[in-house]
Amino acid sequence: MSRTAALSAALLMASACGGRAPAAPSPGTLALTCSARTLLAGDSVVCRATVALVNVSLDAVWTSSDPSIATSEGVGLFIGKSGGQATVTATHSGQSVSAPLTVDLQDVLRATASAYQGDFKVGTTATFWLQGSYGVASANSGRLTLVVTDQTGATVSTSEPLTVPRGGDKYILSTTFTLRPGTTRVCRTGELQIGSTTLTVVPVVSLVPCLDVAP
């Protein structure tokens, strides 16, 4: 059987069985895509509103059906706040399109960005920053701290403890310290204390967890 005859037969069979090929989206139809449909509380998801067959991001109005579960930061960015499911919606030119978003609440601590300032010489003052996300599920609150240690593991400085409520969100911690004589290296670590449990996050190499100190 030729390819043309086989295609004709398949179409006749679909017609006889009442089958119908799914209709392609009409030009101008609003579509919604998200980088994930499930995320941890404290993490982010990015959504895009596009016009079918054009695939151009639109300047849409973004909303969440339950901001206590997933809150809109605008421009398609949503942050998981607590466990549950919310519906995210994009509205543009009178059209709206929605998608479900599931948030899983767990005890978790992550580091996503960092910065530092100073000469990092003995006797000078320096500052470390650490940014990331957290989740508190097993207690009503937790306590976040940035800890700076030297080459021996001794504590050089800690940030002011930040008490956070049950749920998830982003954080930024910082601490300023003086580089004491004998210090050759300083490293930063994030800590989240939940009850008697302490979660620790060490920034990956690309986030510069440690810096050498000049004499």
The three state secondary structure string of the chain is: CCHHHHHHHHHHHHHHCCCCCCCCCCCCCEEEEECCCEEECCCEEEEEEEECCCCCECCCEEEECCCCCEEECCCCEEEECCCEEEEEEEEECCEEEEEEEEEECCCEEEEEEEEEECCCECCCEEEEEEEEEEEEEEEEEEEEEEEEEECCCCEEEECCCEEEEEEEEEEEEEEEEECCCCCCEEEEEEEEEECCEEEEECCCHHHCCEEECEC
pTM of the model: 0.79
**Higher pLDDT among residues 167 and 17, named by residue:** 167
For range 68-78, the mean pLDDT:
94
Range 108-212: architecture per CATH? Sandwich (2.60)
Confidence of residue 52 (pLDDT cuts 50, 70, 90): low
Confidence of residue 6 (pLDDT cuts 50, 70, 90): very low
Return residue ranges of the chain for CATH 2.60.40.1080.
26-104
Specify the CATH number for 26-104; select among 1.20.120.80, 2.70.210.12, 1.10.1670.40, 2.60.40.1080: 2.60.40.1080
Return residue ranges of the chain for CATH 2.60.40.10.
108-212
Please tell me the predicted confidence (pLDDT) of residue 1.
46
Summarised one tens digit per residue, pLDDT across range 153-189 is 999 999 999 999 999 999 999 999 999 999 999 999 9
Please tell me the predicted confidence (pLDDT) of residue 9.
40
Summarised one tens digit per residue, pLDDT across range 103-160 is 999 999 999 999 999 999 999 999 999 999 999 999 999 999 999 999 999 999 999 9
Please tell me the predicted confidence (pLDDT) of residue 5.
41
Confidence of residue 57 (pLDDT cuts 50, 70, 90): low
